Amino acid sequence: MKITRYKKVQKYLKFYYNNFGFHEPYQVLLDGTFCFAAFKFRRNGRLIDIVDDEWRAEQLPHEDILVPLEELPDPEADSADSHLTLKEQSMPKLLTTRCIIIETEKIAKKTHGALTILKQFGIHECGHKEPISGSNCIRSMITKRNEKHYILASQDRDLQNILREKAGVPLLYLHNKSPTLEKPSKVSYAKAGQTLEADPHIFISETQNEALKSMKIALGVEDTAEKKKRHMKKKKPHNPNPLSCKKKKKKPGNIGKEHQKGATEGGARKKKKLPKYLKEQLKASVGNSI
């Protein structure tokens, strides 16, 4: 199983464990549609290997567990073989009902492989004297509260939609070849939130909260907590570096070019004073012409 899918399964099972009382060994209720899909995708594999992949990596420890000597079974005793190993205790119980088997037998020509898979598992007593359809049998077994903590393994979309309306019903299905544990429904999350709010031991009242604050202030714990919360001072923007803001020095060869540019661009020209003898000549020439 991939790491991402393993983490999701671990998260969802912890949710059902904490909020709805699910525990090991998990009881998986299978119908004919799930077995038919398993036979279709894995003809040479056993269904128990497919379903057990979801829990094997999570339940079995990676390191050796130290058990006290008093709890170890006596190898010479007759009941030594009756002790279950850790793997056997953590493996899920795969169950079905008589109604589901009878329904699958009616269409045995098309689903012969699914029927042989179904007959491998334990038969759970559903209490129906006359056989009914598999979906109705499952609906009667999974009550509103799902008190027996069944995990439904089915490919029936209509049945899945009906059971999503009930809180605390995990759904397991095959997506291509990989078994997938569905995310808890919105109804399950809402029910879990109601149980948390109804529990008086989880949340404290306002008076208790104020009393805690006053005790923290008296002991000096509140001041240290406030100091830690202080944010670091933000750096203010400084003035730019004056060396980088110096004006570029003008080269002496570029001074004449700037004057020429000003004259061509239409700038004001400087007036030049005429010498006196030129002024007198101009006046004399003007008087003679008159």
pLDDT of residue 3: 82
Mean pLDDT value of segment 247-253:
71
Q: Where are the domains of the chain?
A: 3-60+87-190
The better pLDDT of the pair 64, 32 is held by: 32
* CATH T-level assignment (fold) for domain 3-60+87-190: Rossmann fold (3.40.50)
User: Which pLDDT band holds residue 137 (cuts at 50, 70, 90)?
Assistant: very high
pLDDT over 90, % of the chain: 28
Q: Note the pLDDT of residue 243.
A: 79
Confidence bin at 41 (pLDDT 50/70/90): confident
Predicted pLDDT of residue 282: 84
Interval 214-220 mean pLDDT: 83
Position 62 pLDDT exceeds 50 = no
Q: To the nearest whole percent, how much of the chain has pLDDT over 70? A: 68
pLDDT of residue 234: 72
Lowest-confidence range among 46-55, 90-99, 175-184, 266-275?
A: 46-55
* CA separation for the pair 114, 37 (Å, rounded): 8
Q: Mean per-residue pLDDT for 125-141? A: 91
Calculate mean pLDDT across residues 128-133.
91
What pLDDT, on a 0 to 100 scale, did the predictor assign at position 233?
67
What pLDDT shows up at residue 40? 85
User: How high is the pLDDT of residue 182?
Assistant: 94
Q: Please write the tens of the pLDDT for every residue from 65-117.
A: 343 434 444 444 444 444 455 556 678 899 999 999 999 998 877 778 888 88
According to the model, what pLDDT value does residue 34 have? 92
- Mean pLDDT confidence for 7-11: 91
Kindly indicate the confidence band of residue 165, based on its pLDDT and cuts at 50, 70 and 90: very high
Average pLDDT, integer, range 238-248: 78
